């Protein structure tokens, strides 16, 4: 790493760029909830000027989706034991658009890629990040969402825009050993980073007032803020932060390497579902508080 002063300067510039840059491209949608509430940003990576051609679907009669057992609100077992969640509902929308039968099998996350490559499924839709290491094992569709990072503060906190120079001496909770901790230490060098063993413990530290801010995965934080566990204590501040070096290149649907028939079919269906507004409707149902 560069010397301290240069690192601080670079960090400030990088954060400012992230704050003002359009972070999702042409497909981003600002949806207006009912009641005149502020617009909710919905992720989208699809450019309407680059409409994909409908692929040959004659070789696809069924899609066997694989998903994870316990990653709410994306994948989880419902009261009846059947798979539920954002990814599950999206998979069903894609099958409707493609007019093919669809099965969804839940497995432990660490077994998904092996099961996919062992022909036990056709596609894995389980919030898998398209990293370089993962791309060596499977192919991916276009990304359909990202996992940004954001700050959270108590509602009465005076901290509105947490730029690095404004956090000197401020205590920031983060989960130990995560990309979020590494990001804070690299770019928010004047803050007092306090690492906790789990997200639950970090959130409790914020609610108790032990820290001034919490920094973490905005997807799970949005789910927490919208739920009863937060007791309406807190809200997002600043961001989002989407540096791919720390937070990944986006989430796609994994298919077996070389299975271009399935990948292109799912890409076309993803675009169609987004174009028709059904992706936006689905996102707002699960994320009335936008992670973005």
Q: Are residues 217 and 96 in the same domain?
A: no
Q: Are residues 173 and 48 in the same domain?
A: no
Q: Which of 7-21, 25-39, 228-242, 246-260 has the lowest mean pLDDT?
A: 7-21
Using a pLDDT cut of 90, give the percent of the chain over it: 67
Residue 73: asked if its preceding bond is cis (omega within 30°), the reply is yes
The mean pLDDT of the chain is: 86
Stretch 271-289: mean pLDDT: 92
Q: Are residues 133 and 260 in the same domain?
A: yes
Stretch 158-162: mean pLDDT: 93
| Ordered alpha helix ranges (H), 127-178 | 132-135
Stretch 6-19: mean pLDDT: 36
Stretch 149-167: mean pLDDT: 95
Q: What is the pLDDT of residue 100?
A: 96
Whether residue 266 is predicted with pLDDT greater than 90 in this model: the reply is: yes
Q: What is the pLDDT of residue 39?
A: 63
Domains of the chain: total: 2
Strands (DSSP E) found in the chain? 29-31, 40-42, 62-68, 70-71, 75-77, 83-84, 101-107, 123-129, 138-140, 149-154, 171-175, 192-196, 213-217, 234-241, 251-256
Examine residue 211 and state whether it is found in any structural domain, yes or no.
yes
pLDDT classification of 31: cutoffs 50, 70, 90: low
Examine residue 291 and state whether it is found in any structural domain, yes or no.
no
Examine residue 32 and state whether it is found in any structural domain, yes or no.
no
- Rounded CA-CA distance 219/146 in Å is 9
Whether residue 27 is predicted with pLDDT greater than 50 in this model: the reply is: no
Q: What is the pLDDT of residue 270?
A: 96
Stretch 5-29: mean pLDDT: 38
Q: Are residues 117 and 213 in the same domain?
A: no
This prediction's pTM: 0.76
CATH of the domain at 93: 3.40.190.10
Q: Could you list the residue range(s) of the whole structural domain that residue 261 is in?
A: 40-146+248-286
Residue pLDDT, tens place only, 101-128? 999 999 999 999 999 999 999 999 999 9
Whether residue 23 is predicted with pLDDT greater than 60 in this model: the reply is: no
Per the CB < 8 A criterion, the answer to whether 184 and 172 are in contact is yes
Examine residue 132 and state whether it is found in any structural domain, yes or no.
yes
56 exposed, middle or buried (CB, 10 Å; 0-12, 13-18, 19+)? exposed
Q: Are residues 132 and 220 in the same domain?
A: no
Q: Are residues 89 and 115 in the same domain?
A: yes
Examine residue 34 and state whether it is found in any structural domain, yes or no.
no
Q: What is the pLDDT of residue 19?
A: 35
Whether residue 275 is predicted with pLDDT greater than 50 in this model: the reply is: yes
Q: What is the pLDDT of residue 45?
A: 75
Q: Are residues 184 and 49 in the same domain?
A: no
Residue pLDDT, tens place only, 42-94? 877 788 788 888 888 999 999 999 999 988 889 999 999 999 999 999 999 99
Q: Which of 59-63, 174-178, 246-250 has the lowest mean pLDDT?
A: 246-250
Examine residue 79 and state whether it is found in any structural domain, yes or no.
yes
């Amino acid at each position: 790493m560069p010397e301290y002063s240069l690192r601080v300067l670079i960090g400030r510039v990088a954060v400012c760029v992230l704050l003002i840059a359009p972070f999702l491209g042409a497909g981003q949608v600002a949806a207006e909830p009912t009641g005149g509430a502020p617009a909710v940003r919905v992720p989208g990576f699809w450019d309407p000027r680059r409409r994909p051609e409908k692929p040959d679907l004659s070789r696809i009669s069924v899609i066997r989706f694989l998903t994870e057992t316990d990653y709410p609100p994306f994948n989880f077992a419902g009261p009846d034991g059947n798979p539920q969640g954002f990814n599950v509902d999206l998979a069903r929308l894609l099958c409707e658009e493609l007019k093919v039968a669809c099965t969804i099998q839940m497995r432990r996350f660490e077994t998904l890629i092996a099961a996919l490559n062992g022909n036990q499924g056709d596609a894995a839709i389980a919030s898998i990040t398209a990293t370089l290491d993962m791309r060596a094992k499977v192919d991916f569709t276009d990304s359909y969402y990202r996992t940004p990072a954001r700050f959270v503060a108590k509602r009465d906190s005076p901290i509105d825009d947490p730029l690095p120079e404004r956090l000197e001496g401020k205590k920031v909770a983060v989960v130990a050993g995560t990309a979020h901790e590494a990001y804070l230490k690299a770019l928010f060098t004047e803050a007092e980073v306090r690492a906790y063993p789990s997200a639950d413990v970090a959130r409790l530290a914020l609610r108790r007032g032990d820290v001034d801010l919490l920094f973490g995965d905005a997807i799970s934080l949005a789910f927490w803020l919208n739920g009863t566990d937060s007791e309406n204590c807190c809200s997002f501040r600043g961001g989002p932060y989407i540096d791919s070096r720390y937070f990944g290149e986006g989430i796609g649907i994994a298919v077996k390497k070389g299975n271009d028939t399935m990948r292109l079919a799912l890409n076309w269906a993803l675009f169609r579902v987004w174009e028709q507004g059904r992706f936006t409707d689905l996102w707002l149902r699960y994320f009335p508080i936008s992670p973005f």
